[in-house]
Amino acid sequence: MKRPLLYETLKVLFRYPIIILMLGDWRTGKTDTSLLVAHLAKKWKLIDKIGSNIYTFNDPEVDHIITLGKLKKWLHADRLIKLFIFDEGLKHVYRRKAMSQKNVDIITEVLPELSKGHGRMIFCSQIEKLDSDILHPAFTRAIWKKKSKKVMECRSKHHPPRTFKNLPRSPIRFDPDRLAPFIDKDMSKEGENRNMGLTYEIAVMYASGVSMTQIKTQKDVHQEQVKREIRKALKWFVKEFPESNEGKEAEIVNNPE
């Protein structure tokens, strides 16, 4: 049986380390299509593992990674072929922030290591105003543009222009209104020096949907301490991402649930 055109396209693109730039207007399904492609690529045995900064309700198929340190460890943990979906790229690697530490770390510590880590990446953004190094042909070798939720145009030097229509929804579900953060500083490492190890562990559990009662039991701490650690983590988050939380500090810190 002849394989579908999408399979033939991915087979060519994922043969080598690559960044695919996924562009599209708001609500055109960039994230959903990226997850669909990842699911199919794994099903077709073109890749072995999927990672993303997208929260997918603890789906076992996707490793949730939101820090630079964890991404590097994930890339080098084994020799399996890995696909990382980097969502909200415009926010994290914007051209006007070209000299920011986050841009520098991603460009100097992640992109060159995609090859050694057997990695591939789908980079989602509304527009192409990303750091110029991200867009360099040495890294970005294909551009996919979502015209609507079901239509996607694909360009690459590795194949003729192609248009895919009637794209189905991804079986990997996610919350479209939830942030897809990416932090250049590893909070867990900072916690070792700031006595925030417990804070980090509790924050990760809470963000993953574990209830305060369950956290209290598993960590053997009082529920009020659980609330204090969550507030501490939220204050840290607001400080790290002031542009996305402006005007919400008091509400978030005082009402963690």
Residue ranges and CATH numbers for the domains of the chain are: 5-164 (3.40.50.300), 187-254 (no CATH)
Of all residues in the chain, the percent with pLDDT exceeding 90 is 44
Whether residue 89 is predicted with pLDDT greater than 80 in this model: the reply is: no
Instruction: Output 85 or 200, whichever has higher pLDDT.
Output: 85
Q: What is the pLDDT of residue 193?
A: 42
Instruction: Please tell me the number of Cα atoms within 13 Å of 218 on its side-chain side.
Output: 12
Q: What is the DSSP string of 192-217?
A: HHHT-HHHHHHHHHHHTT--HHHHHH
Instruction: Supply 99's token pair.
Output: 């000299």
Distance between CA 187 and CA 69 in Å, rounded? 9
Joined together, the tokens standing for residue 33 give 């299509």
What is the Cα–Cα distance from 100 to 16, expressed in whole angstroms? 29
Give the mean model confidence (pLDDT) for residues 93-112. Answer: 60
> Quick check: 245 and 227 in contact, CB under 8 A?
no
pLDDT of 96: 47
Best CA proximity match to 99, nearest among 146, 131, 126, 72: 131
Confidence category of residue 246, pLDDT binned at 50, 70, 90 = very low
pLDDT band at 75 (very low <50, low <70, confident <90, very high): very high
> 82-86 and 119-125 as β-strands: parallel, antiparallel, unpaired?
parallel
Confidence check: pLDDT of 171 > 80:
yes
Rounded to 5 degrees, φ, ψ at 147 are: -85, -30
The model's confidence at residue 107, banded by pLDDT at 50, 70 and 90, is low
Query: How many CB atoms are located within 10 Å of the residue 103 CB?
Result: 21
Q: Residue 133 has what pLDDT?
A: 64
pLDDT of residue 191: 44
pLDDT, average across residues 12-40 = 94
CA distances from 37 to 29, 80, 139, 192 (A): 12, 18, 19, 38
d(CA 69, CA 102): 12
Query: Distance (Å, rounded) from C-alpha 214 to C-alpha 67?
Result: 25
